[in-house]
Amino acid sequence: MKDIAIAHDTVGFTVDGKPVPIDADFQEYGGHPCNASTYGIVFRAAREQGIPLMNLVNNASYISAKYFSKVRLKAM
């Protein structure tokens, strides 16, 4: 699983169920069920396959950030 980013393509919603505008304060974000399930599914499958936890943490955080830095994304 080296250099594989763990990600999802869900749209963010506010607490009242409306899509989050691009310039919204991050505290308005109410979450999305796929956010939790994406990582839960991957982490459970990895545990069952014996993949070390630190590899998963790396793939869920650093690898995604590394990709976005290569495409010159300054901030999210």
Tokens found for residue 31: 């979450």
Query: CB count, 10 Å around CB of 42?
Result: 19
Distance CA 73, CA 26 (A): 17
Enclosing domain of residue 38 = 1-76
Give residue 30's pLDDT: 59
Q: What is the pLDDT of residue 49?
A: 93
In total, how many domains does the chain have? Answer: 1
In terms of pTM, does the model score above 0.75? Answer: no
Residue-wise pLDDT tens digits, 39-69: 888 889 989 999 999 998 898 888 878 887 7
Residues 6 or more apart whose CB falls under 8 angstroms from that of 39 comprise: 6, 60
Mean pLDDT of 6-35: 67
CB within 8 A of 38, min separation 6: which ones? Answer: 6, 7, 8
